[in-house]
Amino acid sequence: MTATVGAAGPKDCRVSRVETYLVGTRWRNFVFVRVETDDGIHGVGEGTLEWQAKAVEASVFDLARRHVIGRSAFQIERMWQDMFRNEFARGGPVVNSAIGAIEMALWDIVGKAVGRPVYDLLGGRCHERIPAYANAWYGAGADIGAVAEAAAAVAAKGYRGLKFDPFGSSGRDPERREIARAVDMVAAVREAVGEEMEILLDCHGRFSPGSAIEIARLLEPSRIYWFEEPCDPENVGALAKIGRSIKTRLATGERCYTKYHLQALLASGEVSVLQPDIIHVGGILEAKKMAAMADAIYIPVSFHNPFGPVATAAAIQLDACTTNIVMQESFCEYDVPWRFDLLENCPRPVNGGYEIPTRPGLGVDLNLDAVRAHPYDEDAYLPMWGDDWAKRF
């Protein structure tokens, strides 16, 4: 789909066209945005949101028509404020993801226009390389031996850490056998990867505070680096209760969509690692502001990123200029095999981390032939509480 403007404006990178491309994978559709300017520069962004691709796409065009088309790409903050503040029903993941996709593309345009990577426009790089942790590697599901074997293969690639959810279809208060199986699986993974690799556990917001506290304590012998989103994130008091009661770092933030909500989360004093999602908070600059809020109270950041390669490219740019980054989530090697075909210069981890690119903008571009080869899939969905949800590829 496409939104356009008629007559070209002055040659100052005025936005003339916004296009979207929906790319179907087995369990989610990537939402890519391409923004063109009147002087021939274009930028790319990503607005992927779990199972809401069409809604995000519709929002992209609404926002583009109202607030972006015909304006200079250099007015990123002003356009962001218009897209956020002028839309009265704001701050939710659908609209924020649309804003984020457009905002990434605008940064890409500005970087190309001045011949610099995006990180140079946001303070400059402060890291030489970005360590990564692997996710989506554990498709063996409930088979403990197979999961441990897969974990050893991840460790051999040099990642700083690996993340997984060992809790299957467990709900708020799992049965004893479910807890025991998860504890045994984590212990097997620790034995397989050795003592140096970090193990990160994602609970996907499934537990009650009482169950989360009990489980975290049972997992202590396996030396877990962080315990992620143990209960639904809307209740900051419940998260804080868990954080006060466990020894493992509490990680959260992927479903905290604005800096205004983040203030209350950080004020709880119990968050040890913050995980903003660059897409869902509204883009690169907003995520950088949230990282600075965390840095003010000495909390490290690990940007949430289980989505497509444009979001990964944006995350690497932000990682490069974020002082309190700890490691970057990476699905790259455990996603659909054609993921790397979707972009020119597609980000790919090397020895478990990301090199920082020097090309202008985000440093990538859509390969439209590959994008069009994988059209929108209306059946791309992942029922999170099924027994085999981890077998996503």
Written as six digits, the tokens of 323 are 């002082």
- In the block, tokens 């478990």 appear at 352
- Assess contact for 21 and 40: CB atoms under 8 A: no
- Burial, 379: exposed, middle or buried (Cβ in 10 Å; 0-12, 13-18, 19+)? exposed
Q: Give Dmax (Cα) for the chain.
A: 67
- 390: Cβ contacts below 8 Å, ≥ 6 apart: 138, 139, 140, 141, 164, 165, 168
DSSP output for 60-122: HHHHIIIIITTSBTT-HHHHHHHHHHSSSS-SSHHHHHHHHHHHHHHHHHHHHHHT-BHHHHT
Strand partners, 131: 353
304 is catalytic: yes
∠ CA 373-28-54, rounded to 5°: 85
Q: How far apart are CA 287 and CA 281, in angstroms?
A: 6
- In the block, tokens 């179907």 appear at 24
Q: How far apart are CA 290 and CA 386, in angstroms?
A: 33
SS3 readout for 225-283: CEEECCECCCCHHHHHHHHHHCCCEEEECCCCCCHHHHHHHHHCCCCCEECCECCCCCC
Catalytic annotation, pick one of 42, 67, 280, 304: 304
Strand partners, 240: none
* Positive or negative: CA dihedral 146, 148, 149, 150: positive
Catalytic annotation, pick one of 204, 261, 280, 374: 204
- The set of catalytic residues is 204, 304
